[in-house]
């Protein structure tokens, strides 16, 4: 068996296993299962972010960051499910204040030298904002959409649509870029991404958004085809930005993958990097444009 075949089999096995778990949790609409899945991916991604900093020797309070990230995940589900994401601003401000107080308090027990204290606090807080806070918008989408007559959540189907459209974008970038990519997009960040792949990502994202909506329009009743068209372009662009954002982190820290959680794919952060940017975009579109 060749190396490429082995990598393909590992990637296939990881993808099948992951999608089996994710689809089971999402389609059942089981809120505790969803909380467990989102929390696990968010905390693994945060751990991998701090671990990449460790590889480069960049200072951070990993333990404090993980505790704060865990509290943010639990608080998000508890608060959003009872108050709703639209009224969550007080919670997010309180969480941000808590992050700052804890990180500054922790730094007080470290020696102050040069710019190390500022770097340590900046890297720690940035990790919290980059991974668990951005990922919490997935939770917000679940509770932004009104529950059905039986009191069951319906927003999980919008999350499923979001994930599939995001993955369509990734697929388009890979397929078109591999087949006809010639003009490099940002070689100083990612030497393999091309402009052809960029437009392929947008094309696949729009096609996926409109196609999926046409399959289950009654389950995504707050979206119309014109919304799918606009969101297809927006989510495709945001997915590319999210992928490149993690590439900046990886290139800055000198690592290839964020982790080895998923054989053939990489780490949890490699898996959710695009969703970190597409989820907030869908949330704000549903809130400000569709009036939810």
pLDDT in tens, 147-198: 888 778 888 899 999 999 998 998 888 888 888 877 788 888 888 888 888 8
Query: In the chain, pLDDT over 70 holds for what percent of residues?
Result: 88
CA nearest to 166, candidates 216, 133, 212, 215: 212
Q: What does the pLDDT look like over 31-77, one tens digit per residue? A: 888 888 888 889 999 999 999 999 999 989 999 999 999 999 888 88
Quote the Cα angle for 31-262-202, to 5°.
80
Distance CA 122, CA 143 (A): 31
CB of 10 within 8 A of CB of 263? yes
pLDDT band at 15 (very low <50, low <70, confident <90, very high): low
Whole-angstrom CA distances from 54 to 48, 120, 263, 264, 267 are 10, 11, 22, 23, 16
Whole-angstrom distance, CA of residue 254 vs CA of residue 257? 9
């Amino acid at each position: 068996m060749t190396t490429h075949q082995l990598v393909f089999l590992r990637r296939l096995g990881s993808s099948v296993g992951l999608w089996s778990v994710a689809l089971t949790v999402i389609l059942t609409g089981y809120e505790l299962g969803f909380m467990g899945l989102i929390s696990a991916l968010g905390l693994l991604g945060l751990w991998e972010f701090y671990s990449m900093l460790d590889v480069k020797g960049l200072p951070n309070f990993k333990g404090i960051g993980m505790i704060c990230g865990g509290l943010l995940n639990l608080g998000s589900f508890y608060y959003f499910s009872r108050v709703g994401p639209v009224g969550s601003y007080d919670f997010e401000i309180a969480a941000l204040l808590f992050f700052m107080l804890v990180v500054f308090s922790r730094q007080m027990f470290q020696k102050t030298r040069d710019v190390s204290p500022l770097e340590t606090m900046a890297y720690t807080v940035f990790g919290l904002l980059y991974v668990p806070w951005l990922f919490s918008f997935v939770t917000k989408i679940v509770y932004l959409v009104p529950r059905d007559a039986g009191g069951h959540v319906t927003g999980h189907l919008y999350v499923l649509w979001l994930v599939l459209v995001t993955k369509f974008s990734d697929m388009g970038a890979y397929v078109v870029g591999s087949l006809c990519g010639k003009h490099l997009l940002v070689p100083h960040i990612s030497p393999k991404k091309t402009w052809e792949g960029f437009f392929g990502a947008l094309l696949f994202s729009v096609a996926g958004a409109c196609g999926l909506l046409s399959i289950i329009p009654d389950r995504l009743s707050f979206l119309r085809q014109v919304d799918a068209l606009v969101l297809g372009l927006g989510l495709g662009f945001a997915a590319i930005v999210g992928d490149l954002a993690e590439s900046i982190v990886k290139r800055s820290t000198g690592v290839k993958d964020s982790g080895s959680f998923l054989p053939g794919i990489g780490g949890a952060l490699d898996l959710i990097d695009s969703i970190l940017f597409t989820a907030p975009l869908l949330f704000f579109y549903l809130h400000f444009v569709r009036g939810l």
